[in-house]
Chain A
């Protein structure tokens, strides 16, 4: 089955700097890669996703890149703000409703 590895487990950046979180996956059949943000005590919220027919996707300060050959994808947050502090999860899934497999999460701290 699918296995998703996520790095780093913790990340601290200064406000205004960029943050990058990386994930690798094992199943070449996976074609959907969402990222979730989870604040303390709250539900995971979908912040951006990418499908395997696209190499990069941007939404304001957030971007995701996908390298299908290497089986890795990354989340990039630019101009970080204190409210970006949270745990971020990557996930990988197949077509239809193949269940998502999640990474173990990255705790991002943005220091003002």
Chain B
């Protein structure tokens, strides 16, 4: 049973560039949530995708966008990168279809460094 997988594991980008991060959810899961974890902080919710639509969004600018594909995998795109976007980006998958079942399982994360 495959867990949540993310790619790439590490990435270095220059200010102003754009980046795409990828996530494959745990087998059987249909919902993907993205979090940003700055050093020494807890994960901060960016947005959540279910049925290929953004369902919930946290307090992040429009430079952060995403997509979910029919196979439930997801991408996180960040445009016009700032130094402050340097963080660990975590993907969490869960199951929306089963009422009350809200366990979220995290991928290993993508460490993004903006220089």
Contact = CB atoms under 8 A, between A and B. Distances in A.
Interface stretch (B14-22, B40-48, B62-70, B74-82): B40-48
Q: What are the 7 closest A-B residue pairs judged by CB atoms, nearest first?
A: A102-B42, A99-B45, A43-B106, A43-B108, A104-B42, A44-B106, A32-B102
B1 interface: no
Nearest to A104: B42
A50 to B, nearest CB: 12
A51 B102 CA distance: 10
Interface size range on A against B: 20 to 34
Contacts of A45: 106
Contacts of B107: 43
Interface in B8-59: 31, 33, 35, 40-45, 48, 50, 55-56, 58
Interface stretch (A55-63, A64-72, A88-96): A88-96
B69 to A, nearest CB: 18
Contact of B42 (A34, A98, A99, A105): A105
A53 to B, nearest CB: 10
B103 A97 contact: no
Interface string A26-49: 000000101010000011111001
Residue in A32, A34, A97 whose Cβ sees the most chain B Cβ within 10 Å: A97
A98 B33 CA distance: 10
Interface residues of B, number: 29
Nearest to B46: A99
B94 A44 contact: no
Interface of A: 6, 32, 34, 36, 42-46, 49, 51, 89, 91, 93, 95-105
Contacts of B50: 97
B102 A43 contact: no
B96 A44 contact: no
B87 interface: no
Given A97-B94, A99-B45, A103-B42, A43 B109 contact: yes
Given A43-B90, A44-B90, A97-B31, A102 B102 contact: no
